[in-house]
Structure 1
Amino acid sequence: MSPAASATPYSGCKRCRTISRAGSRRAGSRRPGPGRPCHMPRRLGSMSFMADKARRRGEIQRSIFEALLEESEGMPVGEVLARAEEILPANPSEDQDYEGKPGVRRYPKVQRFATIATVKAGWLTKDNGTWRLTAAGREAFERLPDPTAFEKEARLRYQEWRAQQPSAQFDSADDAEDAEAAQLEKSDEKRRAWLVRGANVDGVNVLRQWFDDGFCSVGWTELGDIPAGVKRADIAEAVQRGYPDASVGTRRVMVGNLHRFLNEISVDDLVVTVDGADVVVGEILGDAIYTGEPLVTRRRPVSWINADSPFVRSRLSSDAADGLRGQLTVSELTSHLDEFATLGGFEDAVDLPALDVALDAPTQALADSLLLPLDWLHDTVDLLNEKRQVVLYGPPGTGKTYLAMELCKSLVESAGGEYEVVQFHPSYSYEDFFEGLRPRLDKDSGGSIAFDLIPGPLRRMAQRAADDPRSPFVLIIDEINRANLAKVFGELYFLLEYRGTSVALQYSEEPFSLPRNLFIIGTMNTADRSIALVDAAMRRRFYFQRLFPTEQPIKGILGAWLDRKGLPNEPAVLLEALNNAIGDPDFAIGPSYLMTTRVGHEAGLERIWRTAILPLLEEHFFGEGRDINAEFGLAGLRRRTAAHPAEVPSESEEADIPPDAQLDPEA
């Protein structure tokens, strides 16, 4: 750039200065010419918009406070919001419903959203739906009549509170309502946040150049100029030509990074980059520019907010910090936008703790219906909330799948979430579980074969969970150990441990992360495969809960069930004797085979023993030359236990016995 150019009147505009420094004909064509306004007013306008946003939030806060000034005992929330709206009516935007949510009017949610900072500032209390001003809140209302000043102090006090509670969650009913309002406001916000890496570009740290000249960039000089807005297919062709020797996976990742940088990042979006422990945040000011310069070939102008005073990543929540560990050059961080904006120093940022969805505690009624101890159920749910992945393991008939589904029916569906069951088997693959290419007949091209990328059950559930972050979603994987887990999970192993972190997928180059409100419950049959043989990586990523017939909580469950049904206890005695004779906990027989009213009659008990239990033992002891019927049949077990058969009903009586809804014998 010539000295004359650097002395132009618009050289004070950081956006124009960034563009003019690009040094290409294309960049130069974007500079303001005669009669064309400088970019400075747009930037000032942006800051003015941010200030207007903060002032409006302050006006809403003060209208709520004004509605409560004369109510020393407080007032129900519905009345507070209605009275506050009389004081400060909704503007046209606030008076509309949220996009895609007919019937959900914005203004009441905006009002609730505005109160979050005042509650954490100690100015407003919310107790079982009743709102009341504190003495500090009344003092702040009188002391800070300017809405902007009022909002700013509330926000600062909120940030102080937030800094002391990095894992704060919404846990009361009022907090949950506020969380919903915050989530709706976030989803209605068009701004997005992106991670762009520059600390190691072919072994070179280019971040200082980014900060000094006001831009972020990606490289790949060999590809030449790829204009913004070009289709993904055209980017893929350019990558194929520029890097013909690269692997298919490498090219897919490259295409995804370029597509996001050129086409998905928008003006006013946040951009985040990391240099060791330091985190720097900026704002995107313009479209992508091609310079042809090595290492920084494609640039987007950026106003770096905290380049001179970066914050350390340890100040981030664990999920936001995980997002910075992604493996992609360009990945999305929008779910943590507020956190990065606040720590980065944006004027209009309001930091909110992420809504960390957890499964509710099980009730005594659920424990009674399952005949399981309440403390054991509490422990299982706590493990699931902590790790997000649990495997229930034990021999056949211990009710693993049944228990998983009953937990979901009680704790997930009641919370507005969903669950789905998928069963693994030896031929199950990554393409079945997550995503894969499926052939179809393309009639438009004369009947040739085309391939579509089809999502599997995990990707579908992850999308549902991401679309509804306030509700729990559970994927139950039955017989999880029957598949080749390393092949089925692939790169998803990493995501099980680092929720919120993005990785590049095998088939689609899009970044993907597992939402924290998606839980996974696996069931594992130890008669098929011992837990000791399970992939070590798998064992590190799941908590394991034992369900064995000879141990609590399963031991004694059959006797309790028979007692509840008013049936003889003999089947429980026989089952205990059988498992003692087997002598191997991994191959013990679970109680669900006998949890049917048919076992109260000799013919029914004999049929179950002959057709369900003895065949399992024949398979287990195959080739050992043992007489299974003599060793484990009813007659031999009765001799050893001195047990006596129940009264044998007539054929007509047995025909009238209805089958019971029982535990799945194969669970």
Structure 2
Amino acid sequence: MAVMHQLAAKACVALLTVLRDVGSLSPAEAWTRVRERAPEVEHDWVGPGGLTAGALLRVQVNHLVKAGWVYRDDQRWEITSAGRAALRVHPSPQELGSALAEAYDHWVDRQHAYWRAFELAGAIPEGRWAADSDVAAIAEVSARHLTALLEAERPPGWRRVLGSGGRVPNLDTSCFQAWWDELAAEGLRHQNGHFDRVYQLGREDLRQLLAPPETLRRAWLLRSDVAGNNLATLWLADGFCSLHAHLLREMAPGASRAEVHAAVEDDYGEVATYSERTKLTTEVYSFLSQMSPGDLVVTYTDADYHIGTLTADPPWFKPSANSLATLRRRVEWFAGQPIPHDSIPAALFAKMTPPGDLIELPDAVPDLLELVGDREPSAPFTLPDIDQDFARKLYFPAEWLQECVELLRERPQLVFDGPPGTGKTYLARKLAAHLTAGKPQNVTFIQFHANYAYEDFFEGFRPIDDGEGGMRYVKRDGPLRTIVTAARRHPDQVFVLLIDELNRCNLPLVFGELYFLLDYRDESVATQYSPEEPFILPRNLVIIATMNSADRSTRELDAAMRRRFAFKTLHPDERPVCDLLAEWLRAKNLPDEAAIRLEQLNRLIQHRDFKIGPAYLMRESIHNGGLERAWATQIMPALHELHAGDRAALEQYTLSALRQARSS
């Protein structure tokens, strides 16, 4: 008679085969088909304590899930991509049983680390993704086992963990299309089977998601002026803060927004306007359900600010004189107060300007803790100087590059403009890498085009499937808001937003109210889709853009935009670009003909914006017999617009014509 582990292995092979061939099945259907495929499992089974063969299969399914080979919910079992692979590699019961035992033992030994990986997956925000290798490295687990387990366990956020380059890691899974569609519905752009890296969270960002709760505390401004009475003295004396909601019924801490909305509509429907009820709903919901122990609370009198910490006591309702302070939370106010108005940093003060009795102060905790002496001042970010080695690699003068850094220190917006082929985008990328100390996660690259809009750039609503055959709209962050969030989390680091083809779009429509912030980095604005959240451009975010001066389809920058950017021109007739190709050829020990012909060509071209930059010819393959091909296929097409339809006029720019003119 077969021993237990042999029958268990046969049952697993039969189950995986059935699920592979038939698809997902209910446990009862799966057991029926396993008996049909391997009747000896039931026939030979004699279980201890009356354990049936069907119960044996359920035990094995638990092992299969922990191996990452089967997905199980309350109604069905389904083979995973890893399960299909295991069946291919281990077709016999003996082989598969051994592999299953090894995989299950690995889970038992490392389960706490995998739970940490699951927690990290659940913390990845909607509309972002992380590489399986990064999640695995942080949790100290195997990336291969992790992707298998994520598909088998399917914890919250599991689909946001992708393979290298942003691809769905388990291509052989039956849920591939749903996986793909869900991420696309979250607003992640994709191309050629890969989701865009602009949405990827790096390892440092992922570590921040698992930071201890105290580092994730929030800050709130609670105004103490209620119906002409300043309650700050009462709050400070009795150790609490309060929200004016005198008509509101008592509600439990943690009430949902829908519950608060219903109560406010009932209790204030006849005495408050729609906008007043909406405001009160937001404030009561925040007070009851979003403010947490450890959060900071700020209030002020005519002359001073006061800062405190919410205790673990839940919010409560208490009748008070004149019903001014009915909804309360316990606060431990910092000693050594008050803080004078003029001690508040400008950037922090800007966050306190929106109206409302209770508003959240985004990314304000470090500044507030510094004010009360509870935290060492954070190291300021610095834009690093240019060193000779960096300049030498770019074949640019160090002084010219250093001037770019100085301009960014004065005003953190810079444009490289000039004709095509002058290396604008290449230089912008290299400079961004230098400024961010080589951290790719600190650089975001975008390209403007004629249809680019505010909603693409900053924030907007996107339609997604509501799961019931209809559509609903969700708010999505654009690349600017995403990189601003990262810059706020790391105020000691430099972040760079690269904008290619700056003048290809309608800039006033794309930037909207954000125009103002380019001049006033310490001020806040109310944005179009999130007016309740004060938005600030942090000073550690640098914007570097490029403009193609030869493209006639582009728009002229208006005076308002030109005033907000510094400009550095890259032109073939001017240093450093005019010497760039010759220096590069000398450094590579290559013939100098390309530099001679390019200089000759640009002398013939009368229109300044159509002169040709050296980047077209800065590839070694061109100088190993490929100069003629590069000239015909890259440089000549770039000149067609200069003499549209006049082939005779273009003939003077051909390589053969230039050579002949030089020799005559």
TM-score in terms of structure 2 length: 0.56
Distance 1:614 1:247 in 2: 67
TM superposition shift of 1:373:
1.0
1:554 and 1:227 map into 2 onto residues whose CA distance is 68
Distance 1:556 1:239, change over 3 A: farther
Query: Counterpart of 1:553 in structure 2: which amino acid?
Result: P
Q: Secondary structure at the match of 1:437?
A: strand
The partner residue of 2:478 within 444, 450, 456 is 456
- Equivalent position of 1:135 in the other structure: none
Residue of structure 1 equivalent to 2:544 = 521
Structure 2 residue identity aligned to 1:378: Q
For residue 592 of structure 1, the aligned residue among 615, 640, 651 is 615
How many residues are treated as equivalent by the alignment? 457
1:232 aligns with 2:257: yes
**In the aligned structure 1, how far is the partner of 2:359 from the partner of 2:478?**
22
User: Structure 1's 314 and 265: CA in aligned 2 closer, same or farther, altered over 3 A?
Assistant: same
Structure 1 runs not aligned, ≥5 long: 1-96, 105-181, 646-667
Q: Deviations over 1:239-261 (max 9, x none)?
A: 899899x9999998876555434
1:378 & 1:221 partners in 2: Cα distance? 61
The equivalent position to 2:399 in structure 1, one of 365, 375, 380, is 375
**Structure 2 match to 1:439:** 463
Q: SS at the partner of 2:640? A: helix
1:505-551, Cα deviation, whole Å (9 max, x unpaired): 44455555445544332222222379993244444443333222222
Provide the residue aligned with 2:566 in structure 1: 543
**Structure 1 residue corresponding to 2:650, chosen from 629, 651, 661:** 629
* Offset of residue 396 of structure 1: 1.3
Question: What is the identity, as a one-letter code, of the residue corresponding to 2:297?
Answer: V
Q: Please name the residue that 1:155 is paired with.
A: none
Tell me if structure 2 keeps the 8 A contact 1:320–1:336: yes
Q: Judging changes above 3 Å, is the alpha-carbon distance between structure 1 residues 457 and 416 closer, same or farther for their aligned structure 2 residues? A: closer
From 314, 318, 334, the equivalent of 2:342 is: 314
In structure 1, the partner of 2:443 is 419
How large is the Cα RMSD of the aligned pairs? 5.0
Indicate if the aligned counterparts of 2:503 and 2:555 stay in contact, CA closer than 8 A: no
Q: Give the deviation of 1:300 after TM superposition.
A: 4.2
Q: Is the 8 A contact 2:360 2:533 kept in 1?
A: no
Q: 1:365 aligns with which of 386, 389, 406?
A: 389
Letter in 1 for 2:220: W
- Which residue of structure 2 aligns with residue 21 of structure 1? none
Cα distance in 1, alignment partners of residues 562 and 319 from structure 2 = 49
Residues 1:249 and 1:466: Cα distance change in structure 2 (over 3 Å):
farther
Show the 5 A alignment for 1:219-618.
229-234=254-259, 259-266=285-292, 269-273=295-299, 278-284=304-310, 287=315, 300=328, 310-325=338-353, 330-333=358-361, 335-337=363-365, 339-341=367-369, 343=371, 349-385=373-409, 387-412=411-436, 414=438, 417-443=441-467, 445=468, 447-499=469-521, 503-508=525-530, 512-528=535-551, 533-597=556-620, 599-600=622-623, 604-618=626-640
Decide whether aligned partners of structure 1 residues 299 and 308 sit closer, same or farther in structure 2, where only a CA change above 3 A counts.
farther
Contact kept? 1:192, 1:334, Cα under 8 Å: yes
Separation of aligned partners in 1, 2:414 and 2:264: 42
Q: Which letter does structure 2 place at the counterpart of 1:616?
A: A
Equivalent-residue separation in structure 2 for 1:251 and 1:570 (angstroms): 76
Equivalent pair of 1:474/1:518 in contact (CA under 8 Å): yes
Are 2:363 and 2:489, in contact at CA under 8 Å, matched by a contact in 1? no
**Post-superposition shift, 1:612?**
2.5
TM-score by length of structure 1 reads 0.55
What SS does the aligned partner of 1:556 have?
Answer: helix
CA distance in 2, matches of 1:586, 1:456: 33
Contact 1:313 1:321 in 2 (8 A): no
Give a deviation string over 1:408-457, Cα, whole Å, max 9, x none.
444536358542322111112222223333333333x2x22233333333
- Answer with 334-343 or 295-304: which moved more: 295-304
- Return the letter of the residue paired with 1:230: A
1:77-114 residue CA offsets vs partner (Å, 9 max, x unmatched): xxxxxxxxxxxxxxxxxxxx9x989999xxxxxxxxxx
Sequence identity (%): 39
1:552 and 1:368 map into 2 onto residues whose CA distance is 15
Contact 1:323/1:500, CA 8 A, preserved across alignment: no
Q: What is the SS of the residue equivalent to 1:533?
A: coil
Higher mean C-alpha deviation, range 249-258 or range 327-336: 249-258
| Residues 505 and 554 in structure 2, CA contact (< 8 A), matched pair in contact too | no
- 1:398/1:225 CA distance change after superposition, 3 Å: farther
SS at match of 1:397: coil
Is the 8 Å Cα contact of residues 530 and 586 (structure 1) preserved in structure 2?
no
- What secondary structure sits across from 2:639 in the alignment? helix
CA distance in 1 between partners of 2:538 and 2:575 (Å): 33
Given residue 272 of structure 1, which amino acid in structure 2 is its aligned partner? V
Cα distance between partner residues in 1 of 2:431 and 2:510: 25
Cα 1:197–1:608 change in 2 (3 A) is farther
Alignment-mate amino acid for residue 344 of structure 2: L
